[in-house]
Amino acid sequence: HLAAETHLQQLQHAHQLTLASPCCFTSLTDVTSHASLVYFFVKFCFPYRHLSVDFNKQAFMPSHCTIKAKSLFCSNHYSQRAAVRAALAQDPSWISEYICKALPLLTAQDNEVSYLVPWSRLKSPPQQGGVFELATFRMRPGGPAVWGGAFQAAMSAHDAPGYGKLLGAFHSEFGLLNRVHALWWFESADHRAECRHKAHTDARVVAAVRNSVAHLDSQRNQLMFPCTFSPMK
């Protein structure tokens, strides 16, 4: 934990991020000097209809373990994203305070551009604290026109009764295709386990999931914890 905190503190300084106030998420006031940061989560072991997001997954190597961090940046269109990247390339502080310090710690990095599915909106957690689950589904080719309705029904069957708080659902545009991410919030890991147990006994959830998995190739999930400087926490 100390090793992870050390590296994350260095990232906090490098990104020049500020601490989020309890209600700042809706206005996304916690930003780097060039782009809007939605969250920065660590893993151990705009309400726009076509909002594009970058899932940036990084692995840092301290002396005894690997720490995985995942950040989410928002842009309203590709030209805005391109302008941000161009500005960063010319920003001396980005090079000296982040790139030069992060590269020695970085072992791998994956980027993915995704967009909010049409029926989803990016939401804030009902309260600060808790844990976040990022569930990733690899769907069979065909796109939302084929599996979108069944997937939405499965997500809603969990969200509506309170078996988790769905904060957003995203579909990959660049990167590994046919991939859908669902970001959930729970009060704690134990609360998540309790919700899943209840959901497994709900006939409506079972039926909705059964219809959705007919379009599913594989899935995985990650339990993540927000860093102190993450706007979403």
Q: What is the CATH number of the domain that holds 187?
A: 3.30.70.100
Specify whether 89 is located in the same domain as 158.
no
In-domain check, residue 125: no
Q: Give tens-digit pLDDT for 87-100.
A: 888 888 888 888 88
Whether 50 maps to a domain, the answer reads yes
This prediction has a pTM of 0.74
Q: Which of 115, 139, 161 is the last residue of a domain?
A: 115
CATH of the domain at 87: 3.30.70
- The mean predicted confidence, pLDDT, of the chain is 77
Q: Give the per-residue pLDDT at 64.
A: 47
The C-alpha atoms of residue 132 and residue 233 are separated, in whole angstroms, by 9
Instruction: Please check whether residue 123 lies inside any domain of the structure.
Output: no
Domain that holds residue 71: 2-115
158 in the same domain as 57: no
- Pair (110, 136) in one structural domain: no
Report how far residue 25's alpha carbon sits from residue 116's, in angstroms, rounded to the nearest whole number. Answer: 17
pLDDT in tens, 116-163: 999 999 999 999 889 999 999 999 999 899 999 999 999 999 999 999
Q: Is residue 102 part of a domain?
A: yes
Do 30 and 111 fall within a single domain? yes
Task: Tell me: pLDDT of 24 over 60.
Answer: no
DSSP per-residue codes, 56-121: EEEEE--SS--EEEEEEEEESSHHHHHHHHHHHHT-HHIIIIIIHHHGGGEEEEEEEEEEE-TT--
Instruction: Answer whether residue 230 is part of any domain.
Output: no
Structure tokens given for 206: 């079972």
Number of domains present in the structure of the chain: 2
233 lies in some domain = no
Q: What percent of the chain has pLDDT over 70?
A: 71
Domain final residue pick, 52, 82, 115: 115
Q: Are residues 135 and 219 in the same domain?
A: yes
- At 104, is the pLDDT very low, low, confident or very high (cuts 50, 70, 90)? confident
Report yes or no on 124 lying in a domain. no
Is the confidence at residue 37, as pLDDT, over 80?
A: no
Task: Answer yes or no: do 109 and 151 share one domain.
Answer: no
For residue 1, the model assigns a pLDDT of 28
Are 100 and 199 in the same domain?
A: no
Which of residues 115, 146, 181 is at a domain's end? Answer: 115
Statement to judge: residues 186 and 155 lie in one domain: yes
Q: Which of 134, 221, 147 is nearest to 185 (CA)?
A: 134
Check whether residue 144 and residue 68 sit in a common domain. Answer: no
In eight-state DSSP terms, residue 145 is H
Q: Is residue 16 part of a domain?
A: yes
Both 11 and 111 in one domain: the answer is yes
Examine the domain organization and report whether 111 and 18 are in the same domain.
yes
Claim to verify: residue 55 and residue 140 sit in the same structural domain: no
